């Protein structure tokens, strides 16, 4: 059977009625090489996935639900693309341990599916060691459950690691007196400021500063369609990457 004749990938979407889930339902339904065979909404049994013979599940639910959903998929040998924010290092360790029983299963955790966002994180990583100061401002729609965003947390981790590896000193900051939260949340030592505002979708600025100059790396998602090429790429690739992969970087050749 040639590649063009291969059977479409059988996909299940968790959180199918949500803002992201409904876009993903449309994208997976329209792509020629993927077939939407299961939709799971709050209260539905996860057995819907196994009953439908799902090969790849896409989790777009809620930070409180995602770990249980991933555990079910891994236990049942279903590859899973995790778009939901909320899987930190501790949770990833739990998933890693459970993968011991189904080592061929892929778990692809994607903090941000938008190609521009992935690139902006890489640009921030490159810039990180050249500036004394680094801070992140993330701006989202007001119905978002988590703060800071998964993208901001991941960006802070990447920036922090790059600065540490290059031996950059702590950013200058003379603050000794402040209102709670005025300097943002410290994520791996990088201040992250979260804005929630009607009219926005998903936006982020990584600000760098040093003597006499600043650099701002900004990305804007104006529409959730911006995430769909990344969702489809992840669905197509997750089955070829056993174990845990974080981010789309490797899939994009970055
Ligand atoms: N990686 C990326 O690029 C992106 C990630 N996201 C992330 O995706 C997640 C969803 O975002 P968004 O679509 O805006 O949120 P929504 O609240 O619009 O959608 C989430 C949906 O999941 C449902 N849900 C909650 N728990 C479960 C469960 N256990 N099983 C099945 N369905 C469930 C919700 O139902 P109910 O309404 O009844 O609670 C809702 O329909 C968030 O974590 C967000 O940060 C968002 C955009 C891009
Ligand atoms: O909730 C959202 O909308 C988004 N969530 C992801 C995150 O937490 O980073 C990705 C994107 O920012 C949109």
Q: Which of 8-12, 19-23, 102-106 is the least confident region?
A: 102-106
> What's the rounded Cα separation, in Å, for the pair 133 and 190?
9
Assign 60 a pLDDT band (cuts: 50, 70, 90): very high
> What's the rounded Cα separation, in Å, for the pair 51 and 70?
17
Encode pLDDT of 82-113 as tens digits.
999 988 889 999 999 989 888 899 999 999 99
Q: Which atom of ligand 1 is nearest to the CA of 18?
A: 19
Residues whose beta carbon lies within 6 Å of some atom of ligand 1: 14-15, 17-21, 40-42, 60-63, 65, 83-85, 110-113, 150, 227
* CA 79 to ligand 1 centroid distance, Å: 19
In Å, what is the CA distance from 205 to each residue of 57, 193, 246? 31, 10, 21
> What's the rounded Cα separation, in Å, for the pair 148 and 15?
21
ipTM over 0.90: yes
Residues whose beta carbon lies within 6 Å of some atom of ligand 2: 85, 111-112, 140, 144, 149-151, 202
Mean predicted confidence (pLDDT) in 168-188? 97
Q: Which residue is closest in CA terms to ligand 2's atom 13?
A: 202
Counting beta carbons within 10 angstroms of the beta carbon of residue 112, is it exposed (0 to 12), middle (13 to 18) or buried (19 or more)?
buried
Question: Among positive and negative, which fits the CA dihedral 181, 183, 184, 189?
Answer: negative
Q: Which atom of ligand 2 is nearest to the CA of 141?
A: 3
């Amino acid at each position: 059977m040639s590649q063009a004749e291969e059977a479409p990938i059988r996909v299940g979407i968790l959180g199918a009625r949500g803002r992201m889930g409904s876009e993903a339902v449309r994208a997976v339904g329209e792509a020629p090489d993927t077939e939407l065979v299961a939709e799971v909404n709050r209260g539905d049994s996860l057995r819907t996935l196994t009953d439908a013979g799902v090969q790849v599940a896409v989790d777009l639910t809620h930070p409180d639900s995602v770990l249980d959903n991933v555990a079910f998929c891994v236990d049942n040998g279903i590859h899973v693309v995790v778009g939901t924010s909320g899987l930190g290092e501790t949770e990833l360790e739990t998933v890693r341990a459970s993968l011991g029983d189904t080592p061929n299963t892929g778990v692809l955790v994607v903090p941000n599916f938008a190609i521009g966002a992935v690139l902006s994180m890489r640009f921030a990583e490159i810039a990180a060691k050249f500036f004394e100061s680094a801070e992140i401002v993330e701006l989202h729609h007001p119905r978002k459950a988590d703060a800071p965003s998964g993208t901001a947390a991941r960006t802070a981790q990447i920036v922090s690691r790059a600065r540490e590896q290059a031996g950059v000193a702590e950013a200058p900051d003379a603050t000794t007196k402040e209102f709670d939260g005025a300097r943002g949340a410290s994520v791996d030592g990088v201040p992250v400021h979260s804005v929630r505002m009607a009219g926005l979708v998903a936006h982020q600025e990584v600000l760098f500063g040093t003597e006499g100059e600043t650099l701002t790396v900004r990305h804007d998602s104006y529409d959730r369609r911006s995430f769909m090429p990344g969702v489809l790429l992840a669905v197509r690739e997750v089955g070829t990457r056993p174990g845990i992969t974080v981010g789309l970087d490797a899939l994009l050749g970055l």
